[in-house]
Structure 1
Amino acid sequence: MLEQLTSILDNVIYLDIETTGIDEKSSEIIEIGAIKIKNGIITTYKTLIRPRGRVPIEIYNLCTGLTEKELLGARSLNLIKSEVLEFLEDIPLICHNGNFERRFLEYNIPEIKNKILDSMELAAILEPWKKEFNLDSLVKEITSLNKNELHRALDDCIDTLKVVNSLLCRQWAREEQNKKKKTLYFVLNNDYNYLKKWEWTKYLLKPPFFIDEDYTYVNYEEYSKDQVKLKKVEIDYSLYEELLKHEDIWNNGGDFGYQYRKDQKEFSKKIRENFEKQERIFIEAPTGSGKTFAYVLIAAIETYLNKQKNRKDDSSFIISTNTKELQNQLIERDIPTILKKLRLDDKLNYGAMKGKGNYLCIDRLNKCESLEFDEKGNLALLFLRRLCEDGKYGDIENISYWAQKHFELDKYLKDVNCDSEQCKLEKCIKPCYLRTRYNDLRNENITVINHSLLSCWPYCEKKKINHIIIDEGHNLMEKCYDFFAEEFSSFEFLELLDMIEKGHPSILAMLLNLNASFGFRETIEKDKLNYLVNDIVVNINILINDFRSMRLVSGEYNFTTEFFIPREDLQGITKVLGSEISVLKESIYPLYKLINDYISNITQDDEINGDTDYKNISDYVAKLKSAFDILDKFLEKSTYYAKILEVDSEYKTFVLKNIPLNVGELVNEHMLKEVKSTTFISATLRIENSFNRMKRHLGQNNAKEFLIPSTFDLKNRTKIFALNNVGRYDESGFIKKISKFIFNTAQKLNGHILVLFNNNARRLAVNEELEILTRGTKIEVHTNKKSIGALNDKNRIVIILGSKGFFEGIDVPGDALNCVMLDKLPNYSPEFPILRAITTYQKKGYQDVNYPQLCIKVKQIYGRLIRSTFDYGYFIILDPGQNSYTIRNLERDLGGPNIEFAPTNKILSEIEFNYNNWKRNNINIILNNLKKNNKNIEQNFNNEAKKHKMFWELYKIENEQYYFKNMNFKLKGKI
């Protein structure tokens, strides 16, 4: 294989290392592989390095053919240093994810001074639209090679070399196809001051007489093609949900195992009838009941048939989800799969729509000065420009997580996203992705939005909402308070004031320009404007100083209170602060009036047609008036609103909120007023076995309701534990105890654990403890939601520490996730402002307000564990609290086994036994199904197991004995 290697780049070395962990200070390098290309001659180097400490057993599974005997017989690091240095010389090193190698080499072999080029960085710059830049993904997508899941250092060097060759070949092919555009090499040398000396720049120039025929493995397809081939199946769309019985439609292509379920057909029928009768309905469809399948089927067929009949209003469906991640899942996986099976993929249009701030703005990107000052900024600018230059991409949510971190995009995104006020989609002439999506809306049959966008649907001029499916409808219970809240933020208002002189363009400049355009009808008094601005700034600072002198903040959290119903020791703050807030309010009015008078006097009664300055100043005046009105309403005590004061933990800013308590009326008025049919659907709509609480809260008392029985055998496939020996969440030893328990559980289960926290400070504290406990091991601890995919890798031991944003929307079926932990029950604090307002003004008890939201959240969290019939595992509440009423109610509402109080040692001692039983049961089910269908077990078992996301593998049958392997152990015996 090495003899056939060719390299585009010369005088470079491809290098890879294998290590015992991911922390360079506590882990060791155990293997080095390298390929040197010097003056066209290729040589290789590889060596094992004897470790000083223990090597985690999973390393031997990860590294093909590596044995403990071989590794312990290798030379020490000190003995191989000189020959490594001799081989590397001072030639540049190319590493995939160069930051990892750089850290380990600097710590373990600091004598290596070679420049390190990161091929992941090259891939991100050349093809920024990719979701993943890891080596396995790139080999799969841009080459025709088959990447082995198991790794050795030299093998990864070969793959890196071929990936770099492929990236360059693909880039030059793109440049060849579009000769009107400047080459990337030319652009870097002429348009980016700090990228002329970027390590990769010189390699982007295509060599003269380059022959790409030497690189036959390069895949030049820009997008990976769908490999699923479908047979021609006749489909009668008038059958609607009856089509669910036709397994030949859904199993066509063999890409997933479909089984008809009567319950799924029944609630799919309810969705259709609700659409046709133009009614409203609540449907609780438990996890695994196929709710997405059911509603997308109806949405697709109804829109298609009505499109055929030219009934435009009924040929469009809106699907509203809770999060952007769920939007992406529907658009990238669920909808295209179902449409393809129905043979409607070329007959219907679909897409996602988000708020403007979720998209890149090319105009703002090109004006962003902070990207111009250094190489890092220039790289970020180059990445973002290449991503959105043709208008095909621009959704910030779809940018690779690695790229976001590597290019430090969080620093710049607020300056380069679309501005909701300034962005005029109908007039934009840039190749803008948002503008493309906006224009597509009119003819789109299925549009996926999120609940936040639904609450203020801003695109009604392009698309009216006629029929809507509100998936994860339970989220409206709490989120409606945020949707309909009005708030004054001191930080945002100060930014607004800055725009008078420092805006781009400034309000002052626009006033002067507008005045000149209309013949200088006004005298613009800059000093007066500045005086009024300074007066407001002083009043804001007085309030902040008041908060500080009252010592409202204690600890590291923001202070919040219901302004008119504070806790007893703060009863006097309303009177003291009320007068200061009133002074602030009154100081805003003169600024509003002055600027408003300016534009009135300048334009007088003249007709204004499309004047940008006039429109921008008018928008600005409207914001000033809105701030005045919000403060005015805040100071008025009302039984219909919660008035919330929030003070930043460092006294830098404050927020005043008016939150309506009658959200049901607002749902009907602002979200559903002109909608023909509405379907609320979720796995968790019932509280205390009834829809009534949810229906009353959302103002849908007359809506119909439908319940689907539980799909999974939760009682036998899960166990629910509440720990009774780690103490309460606010006790000093709690963090250390639960961290140790999480670590021990990860060792028993080889990871695949999701730990959820109600409080981010606890999550960070546990993360710090686990960093210490996992040193020298292969256990990875992640805290970002985009790392969830790491759970699916059977060769990685992964713990995900999640915040409240992880409570739902995590869909990880199979062996990838088999233990979910919750730090404590998500109770409201008695001081929670909305709770205080409801219990005071609406005379409700604490449990009446607290339990519904707690029930919904815990049901959602428990639902992360079981996503398919083959799923199993533990749900563990680390601190269950002391309220037996809550625990007993949860037992009823969760629909699973009894909640068992137990110490950590009991759980750890039983865990392997329980998990092996569940796994054996899964094996039996698959074997019996194969036998029942007369399929060859040896040929089909692994495909079936993979289809159901199981990590078990059958590796041989001998003397009627089945031998299985699963990560670190083997199971044999007659099954």
Structure 2
Amino acid sequence: MTSIVSLDIETTGLDPMNDAIIEIGAVKFNGNRIEAEFSQLINPGRPIPQMITQLTGITNEMVHKEPPIKAIIQDFADFVGDSPVLGHNVRFDLSFLRRQNILEYNDIIDTYELAAVFLPTASRYNLGALGQLLSIPFPATHRALDDARATRGVYEKLIRKAGELPIDLLAELVRQGDRTDWIGSFALQQVLRARSREPIQARKALHVSSGPLFEKPAGKIVIGAEPENGNARLDIDEVSAILEHGGPFSKFFSSYEYRPQQLEMLKAIARSFSEGQHMLVEAGTGTGKSFAYLVPAAMWAMQTNTRVVISTNTINLQDQLINKDIPDLREALGIDLRATVLKGRSNYLCPRRFEMLRQRGPETAEEMRVLGKVMIWLHEGGTGDRNEINLNQSPEWDVWMKISAEDEGCKSETCLSRTGGECPFYRSRQAASIAHLIIVNHALLLSDVAAGNRILPEYNYLIIDEGHHMEEATTGALAFKVNQYDFDRLIHELGGLNSGLLGRFLIQLQGILLPSDLAAVQTTVRQVSDLAFKITSLNNQFFEAVDNFLTDQRDGRPMGTYPQQERIQNSTRTLPSWDLVEEIWYDESEELKEMLNLITGLIRAGSPDEENSNEELEDIIGNLATVASRFSEISSNITSLVSKPDSLQIYWIEKQPTSNRITLQMAPLHIGPLMEKHLWHQKTSVVLTSATLTTHGEFDYLRSRLNADEADELALGSPFDYENSALLYLINDIPEITDAYGYQKSLESGLVRLAKATNGRMLVLFTSYAQLKKTSQAIAGGMADAGIQIYEQGVGASANALLENFRGADKAVLLGTRAFWEGVDIPGEALSVLAITKLPFDVPSDPIIAARSETYEDPFNEYSLPEAILKFRQGFGRLIRTQSDRGVVAVFDKRLLTKKYGKLFIESIPECHMVTGSLSELPRTAAKWLNL
């Protein structure tokens, strides 16, 4: 066996051109035997940033007398020799080390790449998370030798997993990997070589696991949109008895608590379904609203044989409903309740398209990574639902789209004939057709009705939970964005005579078409290829003209630290710098029309008849149709943005300061008319609920945004005793936020003193990531002195990972922005202090906010203020999560006291113990309230 060197470096930053190495650690090993270790601190010749010291424990004093990199680099190169180099995200380490002219030709093994394939369902692939997942000890600080040892441990576990695969599957992974420059190939070749005496069987199909949802159900399976009995009604007393003292729930749940608010909500929903009414229900934290709507929904569906759709905003709530609440409900009541989650087409794997990718092989490292990931996932029993696996956002999602069920041309008949009905999308549709309860998300709900109900089976009874997100989620679902990369990717995918879809198209037609017909098709493909070249050139000119327009809009000044956003309005289109944008786009759109017409002709000419059925050709034609459809959508929407606007759409252009990427975007101005047309007016009963639907006790704002004029309303308070559990501290001497310097300094010192007084256990909510970063850097030293760990949103880990770490820490502060203002559930002492830095007003220059503000006579009071109050209420709700919770909410924004609207915020949250005092008194008051 060959010796391998596992290495890791610590650096002053992430840029190999401008940052320096401060430590190298390496382990040389052969199988289970460690042959040697290398560890060396290095003087970088510059100060080590405080953040790096906090992360690694390496201080300026520690490296002061250590040698520079030039003095030790040859010793390290000799240590490695010609051994394969192993690392986690090893290209990062090599980007620094190869600047020292070493390790240029060593074979490379990357545990990140191997983990991304062999652990397809892992939530994270950073070294610490993998160590925890694979039970490998991992130190608290990032030191190079410790990380190199951990990397070796991860590698051994992953290689062992690879060695246990069926030999034919391992051989295919090696064969597919050899087609590309995928960095995981070398390691798998070694595993396969070690098993070279085993016979390799013929390539086998990989099947999608059916899962329990698709077993043949008991009971009646025909579910309708309306009750079979037109006079069907729920017996309110009978349904209420389920949650009463002595009822099924009190017997089933050992810790069951009777909550009158929950019972009142249940009765209201039961009446709404029985009487065919719409309803808005605000149910405060602790009401138990999921069971308050699940019980009447289940009883209605079971008794009337009618399906009920439940829409949520978050995956977490979907998982809670389908994996916990509904099974508990089914068991407590002893009923055969069928429920399923239904998602958009792109969430499901298409076995037919996946097999096509396996047959032709990956063309890029990203395609190989996703192909390998899916092969392992299916081998381990994957169901074909994208959310089961971890996909990196951009390149891997692009690959996934090529193997997903997003192909609109695919029909259920094709699925049955080609895959035996194995397609997860059609199986989920089948499961939904016989389910009493169908769980979806808001984005799918409204995009489905806007597209003519092509995904959900017919339904007339709907519950919308997390309803305060309805407008935002629908706006996102119906929004459009495109950048130059999207254009280039589509052109590349299209290809030409010898590449891409068109090249594969011609290969498949050989032997099917007569020579004269094939020659005609080749001529058309050449024309399409020539047009694609012209379109690429025009598109470069178009985005260059857009860039020049943006430069004019900022008067030639360089980009700042924030993205530049420019709304495109009628007045914009009269500017001189817009003329060239319009002229170039006109030329490009005309070429696009011609190209799309030719592609349509190719699809028609190449479509096989029944006698010449060709599965791969069908797949290529389906992909061509998808690319053409995407081009058509892009062309139509950019034309609207450039010269033919729709008055019901918002248009803007955004340029990123770091990548300089320019994105054209549009979004609907209002979603209320859509809801009114497709939900309020079409459905028999719609119940929209959330913990925050009212502003200052009124539903008026939400009604106006969602056109919910006809809905009844019910506002239920929380069963929690906020007066005795929550202290609201309003700081009266902090500078106004308009005094940016004074305010920021007071915030920083106040947070440090508050955290020290309460032993951390604090969540700090920001309204901007820039302020979060600035504050984090400023308070890091003071927190470290007190042994308080800072967890900061945006530094590598996901929101869920940060929450896990925060919950498990003894003394910690979590800094978060938008994602943490709601949906965060940290009961008990892990969270005792909530600090709100600023009132959460939206940025008025945001294109969507600005456009919607213009539809009001008094934009601030009618739009900005209600939105901010709803967000403030959500943030406040993070603190008290159970009856026994006790905590402090400290607001570092004096506007609650100095502005007339301040009292509207205070009066919109539950009545709690309120104290107005100085910043200096806050730590002592908080500690006293928490009995510290």
User: Structure 2-normalised TM-score?
Assistant: 0.69
* Structure 1 contact 500–508 (Cα < 8 Å) conserved: no
* Structure 1 contact 365–416 (Cα < 8 Å) conserved: no
CA positional deviation for 1:727: 5.3
* 1:415 corresponds to: 399
* Structure 1 contact 454–671 (Cα < 8 Å) conserved: no
CA positional deviation for 1:683: 0.9
1:290 counterpart (263, 288, 291): 288
**CA deviation vs aligned residue, 1:146-177 (integer Å, no higher than 9, x gap):** x9xx9xxxxxxxx99999999999999986xx
Question: CA 1:672 to 1:622, structure 2 compared with 1: closer, same or farther past 3 Å?
Answer: farther
Asked if 1:855 is matched to 2:869, the reply is yes
**CA deviation vs aligned residue, 1:697-731 (integer Å, no higher than 9, x gap):** 21121111112133212232112234443652772
* 1:669 corresponds to: 677
Q: Distance in 1 between matches of 2:604 and 2:361?
A: 40
Asked if 1:453 is matched to 2:440, the reply is no
Q: Distance in 1 between matches of 2:133 and 2:531?
A: 62
**CA deviation vs aligned residue, 1:532-589 (integer Å, no higher than 9, x gap):** 5533442332122122133267522223354448xxxxx7774335534542453244
Question: CA 1:511 to 1:860, structure 2 compared with 1: closer, same or farther past 3 Å?
Answer: farther
* 2:907 corresponds to: 892
Question: CA 1:606 to 1:206, structure 2 compared with 1: closer, same or farther past 3 Å?
Answer: closer
Map residues 815-834 of structure 1 onto 2, 5 A cutoff.
815-834=829-848
Identity of paired residues, percent? 20
Q: Distance in 1 between matches of 2:161 and 2:522?
A: 60
* 1:781 corresponds to: 791
Q: Distance in 2 between matches of 1:201 and 1:909?
A: 63
Question: CA 1:118 to 1:543, structure 2 compared with 1: closer, same or farther past 3 Å?
Answer: closer
Asked if 1:332 is matched to 2:323, the reply is yes
* Structure 2 contact 764–836 (Cα < 8 Å) conserved: yes
CA positional deviation for 1:656: 4.6
Asked if 1:644 is matched to 2:638, the reply is no
Asked if 1:914 is matched to 2:929, the reply is yes
CA positional deviation for 1:850: 0.9
Q: Secondary structure at the match of 2:901?
A: helix
Question: CA 1:341 to 1:888, structure 2 compared with 1: closer, same or farther past 3 Å?
Answer: same
Number of corresponding residues: 796
Map residues 350-499 of structure 1 onto 2, 5 A cutoff.
350-359=339-348, 363=353, 367=357, 382-389=372-379, 392-399=382-389, 411-417=395-401, 422=407, 426=411, 427=414, 433-434=424-425, 436-457=427-448, 460=454, 463-485=457-479, 492-493=486-487, 495-496=489-490
Question: CA 1:165 to 1:850, structure 2 compared with 1: closer, same or farther past 3 Å?
Answer: closer
Q: Secondary structure at the match of 1:505?
A: helix
Q: Secondary structure at the match of 1:412?
A: helix
Q: Distance in 1 between matches of 2:543 and 2:32?
A: 68
Q: Distance in 1 between matches of 2:923 and 2:711?
A: 47
Asked if 1:688 is matched to 2:696, the reply is yes
Q: Which amino acid aligns with 1:456?
A: S
* 1:932 corresponds to: none
Q: Distance in 2 between matches of 1:778 and 1:120?
A: 30
Asked if 1:544 is matched to 2:547, the reply is yes
Question: CA 1:774 to 1:645, structure 2 compared with 1: closer, same or farther past 3 Å?
Answer: same
Map residues 549-568 of structure 1 onto 2, 5 A cutoff.
549-551=552-554, 555-564=560-569
Q: Distance in 2 between matches of 1:608 and 1:202?
A: 43
* Structure 2 contact 726–887 (Cα < 8 Å) conserved: yes
Question: CA 1:811 to 1:247, structure 2 compared with 1: closer, same or farther past 3 Å?
Answer: farther
* Further displaced range: 124-133 or 323-332: 124-133
Asked if 1:761 is matched to 2:770, the reply is yes
* 1:348 corresponds to: 337
Question: CA 1:808 to 1:574, structure 2 compared with 1: closer, same or farther past 3 Å?
Answer: farther
Question: CA 1:200 to 1:794, structure 2 compared with 1: closer, same or farther past 3 Å?
Answer: farther
Map residues 868-907 of structure 1 onto 2, 5 A cutoff.
868-881=882-895, 884-897=899-912, 900-907=915-922
Question: CA 1:765 to 1:522, structure 2 compared with 1: closer, same or farther past 3 Å?
Answer: same
Q: Which amino acid aligns with 2:239?
A: Y
* Structure 2 contact 447–478 (Cα < 8 Å) conserved: no
Unaligned runs of 5+ in 1: 1-8, 15-28, 43-88, 91-96, 107-114, 151-158, 176-180, 209-221, 226-235, 566-570, 918-975
CA positional deviation for 1:607: 10
Question: CA 1:691 to 1:772, structure 2 compared with 1: closer, same or farther past 3 Å?
Answer: same
* Structure 1 contact 388–432 (Cα < 8 Å) conserved: no
Q: Distance in 2 between matches of 1:750 and 1:858?
A: 25
**CA deviation vs aligned residue, 1:848-900 (integer Å, no higher than 9, x gap):** 11111111111111111122111221222333447522211111111233764
User: Structure 1-normalised TM-score?
Assistant: 0.66
* Structure 2 contact 765–837 (Cα < 8 Å) conserved: yes
Q: Which amino acid aligns with 2:682?
A: E
Q: Which amino acid aligns with 1:281?
A: M
Asked if 1:801 is matched to 2:806, the reply is no
* Structure 1 contact 282–679 (Cα < 8 Å) conserved: yes
* Structure 2 contact 567–653 (Cα < 8 Å) conserved: no
Q: Which amino acid aligns with 1:587?
A: D
Asked if 1:846 is matched to 2:860, the reply is yes
Q: Distance in 1 between matches of 2:623 and 2:156?
A: 51
Q: Distance in 2 between matches of 1:771 and 1:726?
A: 22
Question: CA 1:492 to 1:622, structure 2 compared with 1: closer, same or farther past 3 Å?
Answer: same
Q: Which amino acid aligns with 1:885?
A: K
* Structure 1 contact 284–684 (Cα < 8 Å) conserved: yes
* Structure 1 contact 726–878 (Cα < 8 Å) conserved: no
* 1:94 corresponds to: none
2:632 counterpart (619, 622, 629): 622
* 1:505 corresponds to: 501
Q: Distance in 2 between matches of 1:40 and 1:654?
A: 51
Question: CA 1:623 to 1:132, structure 2 compared with 1: closer, same or farther past 3 Å?
Answer: closer
Q: Distance in 2 between matches of 1:826 and 1:558?
A: 20
Map residues 135-150 of structure 1 onto 2, 5 A cutoff.
none
CA positional deviation for 1:795: 4.5
Q: Which amino acid aligns with 1:334?
A: D
**CA deviation vs aligned residue, 1:319-363 (integer Å, no higher than 9, x gap):** 11112333233333333333333334xx33333233344456674
Question: CA 1:169 to 1:658, structure 2 compared with 1: closer, same or farther past 3 Å?
Answer: closer
Q: Secondary structure at the match of 1:706?
A: strand
* 1:930 corresponds to: none
Cα-Cα RMSD: 6.0
Q: Distance in 1 between matches of 2:502 and 2:315?
A: 34
**CA deviation vs aligned residue, 1:822-868 (integer Å, no higher than 9, x gap):** 33112234444445445545423422111111111111111111221
* 2:76 corresponds to: none
Q: Secondary structure at the match of 1:888?
A: helix
* Structure 1 contact 760–803 (Cα < 8 Å) conserved: yes
Question: CA 1:550 to 1:41, structure 2 compared with 1: closer, same or farther past 3 Å?
Answer: closer
* 2:12 corresponds to: none
Question: CA 1:413 to 1:712, structure 2 compared with 1: closer, same or farther past 3 Å?
Answer: same
* Structure 2 contact 277–685 (Cα < 8 Å) conserved: yes
* Structure 2 contact 162–188 (Cα < 8 Å) conserved: no
* Structure 1 contact 352–448 (Cα < 8 Å) conserved: yes
Q: Distance in 1 between matches of 2:275 and 2:630?
A: 45
Q: Secondary structure at the match of 2:837?
A: strand
Q: Distance in 1 between matches of 2:626 and 2:405?
A: 12
